Amino acid sequence: MAQPLLEIEQLRAGYCEPVVGPVSLQVHPGEVIGLAGPNGCGKSTVLSVLTGQAQRFGGQAKTAAGAGIACQSQAPYQGGELPLRGDELLTLMGADPATLPEPLQPLLRRRIDRLSGGQRQSLLVWSVLGHPGALVLLDEPTNNLDARGRQLLIEGLNRLDAGRGALVISHDADFIRQVCHRVITLEPGGHLQRTETAA
């Protein structure tokens, strides 16, 4: 099997103190791995360690050298004081606007601050899927998405390039079932509960 794009081993992480762990998982090229569990169990904290926003108190979290990371967090870009159009946002994020599915193409010409929450979420998720990074990190990507946006995301993850891998954090069990090869479930308190094959 190819070298993992992401290797987490006995990770304990948090902010002022540990809130999750120990957690162990690997993401290989061609895999979409789900991290599931109830709100507050520390799913997003695992991702925050990888982006430098949370502290590692023990264990390891390593990414493959030169893999590149494409990350979507739960704090979506709202438009700010200098609002961008959709195509400008994707370009700024290093994504090719042409990767946006045809039904979402009209969003490329609209200002971010004039879009609905679901439309903004779609652009942000696709800015990650269209980024060249081999390791894709998605934190609650279906938040605010309507049925069409959700289905387009499912199709996009199911067509993920074989050289890329994804870690998807979600409480949406049906979505996880449709896109993930394996699911790691955390229990309340942030301890690993079980790992199961999903797809």
Write out the DSSP string of 100-159. Answer: S-GGGGGGGGSBGGGS-HHHHHHHHHHHHHTS--SEEEEESTTTT--HHHHHHHHHHHHT
Q: Of the given ranges (7-16, 132-141, 176-185, 187-196), which has the lowest mean pLDDT?
A: 187-196
Whole-angstrom distance, CA of residue 170 vs CA of residue 150: 13
- pLDDT tens string 44-89: 899 889 888 899 999 999 999 888 999 888 765 555 666 789 999 8
- pLDDT tens string 28-39: 999 999 998 888
Averaged pLDDT for residues 151-170: 95
pLDDT at 129: 95
Binning pLDDT at 50, 70 and 90, where does residue 187 land?
A: confident
pLDDT at 11 over 60: yes
- pLDDT tens string 87-117: 998 998 899 898 899 999 999 999 988 999 9
Average pLDDT, the chain: 88
Q: Which residue has the tokens 């690997």?
A: 26
pLDDT at 76: 58
Identify the residue with better confidence: 188 or 133.
133
pLDDT at 118 over 80: yes
pLDDT at 42: 83
pLDDT at 75: 63
Sheet strand arrangement including 32-36: 69-72, 135-139, 165-169, 32-36, 182-186, 192-197
What residue ranges define each of the domains in the chain, with the CATH number in brackets? 6-197 (3.40.50.300)
